[in-house]
Chain A
Amino acid sequence: MSDPMVVAEGLHKSFGDTHALRGLDLSVPRGTVCGVLGPNGAGKTTAVRILATLSDPDAGHARIAGYDVVREAGQVRDRIGLAGQYAAVDEKLTGRGNLRMFGRLYHLSRREAHRRADELLERFDLMDAADRQVAGYSGGMRRRLDLITSLILRPEVLFLDEPTTGLDPRSRGEIWDSVRELVADGTTVLLTTQYLDEADQLADDIAVIDHGRVIATGTPDELKATMGDRLDVVLEDPAALRPAATVLTTLAGTEPTTTSADRLSVALPGGGFRLADIVRELDRAGVAAVDVSLRRPTLDEVFLRLTDRKERVS
């Protein structure tokens, strides 16, 4: 494989007493999507700001396509696109006006800027709204405009900082489709998100960060595999909770969690469990189950375990 497109080594950044990053390392191979997951305040945005040359690290260094983000910021800016949490476009201008203006600021000729604007509007389905003021766009349309504005120069690396936060499911799906298309074109994407299904859908690799440091990396499947499969049991009678818990504890070696009065869930270590065996064990203890299911853990469960937060993050 060729050299990674995004490399961060030991990035540190503090704001007063707050240590936003404490030795962050990242490596994103060309043409892949890296999902950076982390709870609020984990340092996701700070990392993106440093990689996109908006902010200098206190220590450590980072390279984009081989160029140092501090010393060769100009070269880096020629190769990146940035789309943020908020739609960073001029609301007073039309969609087309925005793309043309940013095209000119990317130093395209007037004709080329106009052509590229039309091409992007067409491809990402904004042509109908092209001549309307952005102030009148829906949240999803704005975000899409923000995204395609960062594509004007066909960036080698695209930074998406929580690109779908606050969007309805349909708009999220549209943004996801756009990102998939870009990746098919060979763009390398670094995506931060709080939505784990987003990372699951889009990312080739995931870096889970917390307190300014990467605490786990791997493909979504690898991360899920570290936790083993989940066993969910729904009881016919809540009174059977205790004997059922005893059976599951014996099977799994850890105590199950009670997700509601009649539901139990436990992580099974390693593989080798068959559903039929589990049902038989429950039967033997006299536990009547309405539903017994063996499944991969969700990324949410992996994430919560890794970051040790009790509350759901999304």
Chain B
Amino acid sequence: MTTLAPPMGRRLRWTFADGLTLVGRELGRLRQEPGELVGALVFPAIMVVLFGYVFGSAIQVPDGGDYREYLMPGLFSMVTFTAVQGVMGRMAADSARGVMDRFRSMPMARLAVPFGQTGADSLVGLPLLAVMVGAGLLVGWQPHRGLIPAAGAFGLILLLRYALSWVGVYVGLVVKNEQIVAQVVVPLFLPFTMLSNSFVPTGGMPGWLRFLADWNPVSALTAASRELFGNPGAPSGDVAWPLAHPVAAVLFWSAALLGVFVPLSLRAFTRRGR
């Protein structure tokens, strides 16, 4: 696009520096409105209590384990999915209010915007995960297979969260409208997180629904966490590929989402059509 583009090294350095500035922007927003962060942190804790004790009172785990032990990996996945809506809302708001146009008219590194946004979301993901772990430990959940597999599970959770945040970047950039984004969040969030093995085993679902649930990346993440934490609920018998090899499936899904949505987002961001 530019004939006298700065050398690659400097461009990379600016992309990184500008990305950090935008991460700092998100942290600055949270400092101005700490209520938002508190709300985001309280939500998963409420989920643990609500699902743990409401559903837990009625649902039988297939191999006889504790429901809250079964549930926690599912809730980790559910909270992971919130990355989509958060990033989507931010990108749409910036587009709608002209902030994105200002970024585009500045001599800053263009790619820093989506990278900074997704990076900031990953940082926010850490305290969320910590609150979930704390709440889980309180209600009797724990990892059983030791530190390294547990760290592996957290790593997968953060990886998929990062990949999902790029879906949010793309949708937010394309929709460009906060109101529409706010309206699609619930119909998007609920089916994706509920239509999975997170709260109940998929074995009892009708065939077509079970197929969707088995191939939902949320299910792969939940199954992988159960495996790595040593929590109950590993499906037995004839199971779909993602549930039989959940760790590989999460890696596959993350790579696929990044492979599709990073280029799409970058194209949508740098395109100068309008």
Contact = CB atoms under 8 A, between A and B. Distances in A.
A88 B158 CA distance: 32
Nearest to B102: A88
Nearest to B24: A101
Given A73-B1, A88-B98, A49 B274 contact: yes
B165 to A, nearest CB: 19
Nearest to A132: B32
Contact of A74 (B2, B98, B272): B2
Interface residues of A, number: 39
Contact of A55 (B18, B24, B274): B274
Interface stretch (A3-11, A102-110, A276-284, A287-295): A102-110
Given A93-B25, A107-B108, A54 B4 contact: no
A82 interface: yes
A132 B17 CA distance: 26
Nearest to A46: B274
Contacts of A53: 104-105, 272
A87 B94 CA distance: 11
Interface in B87-111: 97-99, 101-108
A138 interface: no
Contact of A93 (B5, B32, B273): B32
B9 to A, nearest CB: 15
A88 B99 contact: yes
A84 interface: yes
Contact of A72 (B3, B103, B274): B3
A74 B5 CA distance: 7
Contact of B2 (A72, A88, A94, A105): A72
B4 A72 contact: yes
Contact of A54 (B1, B5, B104): B104
Nearest to A71: B3
Nearest to B2: A74
B106 A73 contact: no
A52 B102 CA distance: 10
Nearest to B94: A90
A258 B97 CA distance: 44
A209 interface: no
A101 B25 contact: yes
A75 B1 CA distance: 11
A49 B10 CA distance: 27
Contact of A75 (B4, B22, B29, B112): B4
Interface of B: 1-6, 14, 17-18, 21-22, 24-25, 28-29, 32-33, 97-99, 101-108, 112, 272-274
Interface of A: 15, 49, 52-56, 70-75, 77-78, 80, 82, 84-94, 97, 101-102, 104-107, 133, 149-150, 153
Given A53-B272, A84-B102, A104-B21, 6 more contacts: A74-B1, A77-B107, A102-B106, A106-B106, A149-B102, A153-B107
10 contacts: A49-B101, A74-B107, A77-B106, A88-B101, A89-B99, A93-B25, A101-B22, A104-B17, A104-B21, A107-B17
